[in-house]
Each structure stands twice: as C-alpha cells, then as structure tokens.
C-alpha cells in the first residue's frame, strides 16, 4: 500500500513510519514533511498535499495537539484556536481526502483519552477528542467506495512521560509499541467506525 502519514516527524510519527515502511510505501507529510509539506489548519494546504501525493491507499494523521487550558479563563476564541488543527484539520483530511483515496482505502485519525476521562486543564482537548469520535462514527456509515475510517485514542505516550507526566499524575502511559500496533491494525485490518482506546 501507499500510506500517507501526516505528522510523520513527531513523537508517534517517526516510529510509525519506520514500522509501516517495512511492508508499505510511506509518504511522510508535515509542516516540513520529508516528502510533502502540509499545514493541517488550512484546507487549501490539505488539498494541495493530496494533489501532489497522488494515489494513496491510506491516510493516517498523528499531527497537531491540543493546548492546555484553565477552565476559569477559557473562551470561545481559545477553544476555536485549539480546534483549528486537531479537530477541523483532521476532519478536513477526510472531507477533502475522500476524493483522493483509492477504493477501499482508509483514514486513521488521532483523538485522546480526554474524551472519556476528565482531567484538569484539558477541556479543549476533551471537546476535540469527543468531536472526533462522533465524526468517525458518522463518517463510517457515509463514506463512499468502501472507504474506512477509525480513530486511535491514546493516553499519554510512554516516550513523553518524562516531559508531561507531572501534568497528569496517576495517568498510566501507553507503550509506544502498543500504540504503533493500534495504528497498524487500523490500516491493515478491515474495521471501520472504531475508536481504538490505547490506554496502556
């Protein structure tokens, strides 16, 4: 398969690309992507990416992350800014990409644990992940040509625990190998409309 990985140079993207490349052709995309550049906050940039890449069998997004917030100071503007990349960007990868993926191709998005577990300072992240889950469920029954869509919902990644662990005391991290396996299963499997909870 030809697999487009958006966010290929990130913490998850690098090992994911390495694993997929053992069996597939991987196209690495990102703000300064190895193969193609894309800004997921801009619909036109996403359209241009797909045009440059050409035929692909799958698109995986591991790009963008939600900012931390303080509920007492949270505003509509802050929420919208937070949503621009991780929510609307991933949605646009599907809405635009459905015209470019091969028949029976797949989309795999990234949400997160905050859709299901309440933690302080992540209201924006919770809204984003919850929205992505609803989008995946709806898109799965409407996408044409046998296209599939799933989301991987990770907890904190073990590789980032040293940097972010103190922000989420008691949160159990997920091992990178287990997380990568979840993405691979979404691409190489046959499921659709599934939220894969990689909670360690």
In order along its 200 residues, the chain shows pLDDT tens digits of 999 999 999 999 999 999 999 999 999 999 988 999 999 999 999 999 999 999 999 999 999 777 889 999 999 999 999 999 999 999 999 999 999 999 999 999 999 999 999 999 999 999 999 999 999 999 999 999 999 999 999 999 998 777 777 778 889 999 999 999 999 999 999 999 999 999 97
What is the pLDDT at residue 32?
Answer: 87
The most distant pair of C-alpha atoms in the chain lies apart, rounded to whole Å, by 48
Number of structural domains in the chain: 1
Give the SS3 label for residue 157: strand
Residue 100, domain extent: 2-198
Range 125-159 burial, b when 16+ CB lie within 10 A, else e: bbbbbbbbbebbeebbeebeeebbbbbbbbbbbbb
CA distance 50 to 56: 9
Question: Tokens 């989301």 — which residue?
Answer: 151
What is the pLDDT at residue 163?
Answer: 74
What is the pLDDT at residue 122?
Answer: 94
Residue 89 maps to which CATH number?
Answer: 3.40.50.720
CA distance 95 to 43: 10
Report residue 144 as tokens. 């044409």
Please state whether beta strands 101-110 and 148-154 pair in parallel, antiparallel, or not at all (unpaired): parallel
What is the pLDDT at residue 168?
Answer: 83
pTM of this prediction? 0.96
What is the pLDDT at residue 58?
Answer: 98
What is the pLDDT at residue 50?
Answer: 98
What is the pLDDT at residue 169?
Answer: 84
What is the pLDDT at residue 189?
Answer: 98
């Amino acid at each position: 398969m030809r697999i487009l990985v958006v966010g290929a140079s990130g913490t998850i993207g690098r090992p994911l690309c390495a694993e997929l490349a053992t069996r597939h052709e991987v196209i690495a995309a990102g703000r300064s992507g190895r193969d193609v550049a894309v800004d997921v906050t801009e619909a036109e940039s996403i359209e241009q990416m797909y045009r440059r890449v050409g035929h692909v069998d799958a698109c995986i997004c591991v790009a963008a992350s939600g900012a931390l917030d303080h509920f007492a100071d949270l505003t509509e503007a802050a929420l919208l800014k937070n949503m621009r990349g991780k929510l609307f960007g991933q949605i646009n990868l599907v809405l635009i990409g459905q015209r470019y993926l091969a028949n029976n191709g797949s989309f795999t998005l990234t949400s997160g644990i905050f859709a299901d577990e309440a933690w302080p300072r992540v209201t924006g992240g919770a809204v984003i992940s919850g929205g992505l889950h609803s989008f995946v469920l709806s898109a799965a029954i409407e996408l044409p040509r046998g296209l599939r869509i799933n989301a991987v919902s990770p907890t904190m990644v073990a590789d980032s625990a040293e940097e972010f662990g103190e922000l989420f005391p008691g949160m159990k991290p997920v091992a990178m190998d287990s997380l990568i396996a979840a993405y691979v299963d979404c691409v190489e499997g046959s499921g659709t409309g599934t939220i894969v909870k990689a909670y360690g």
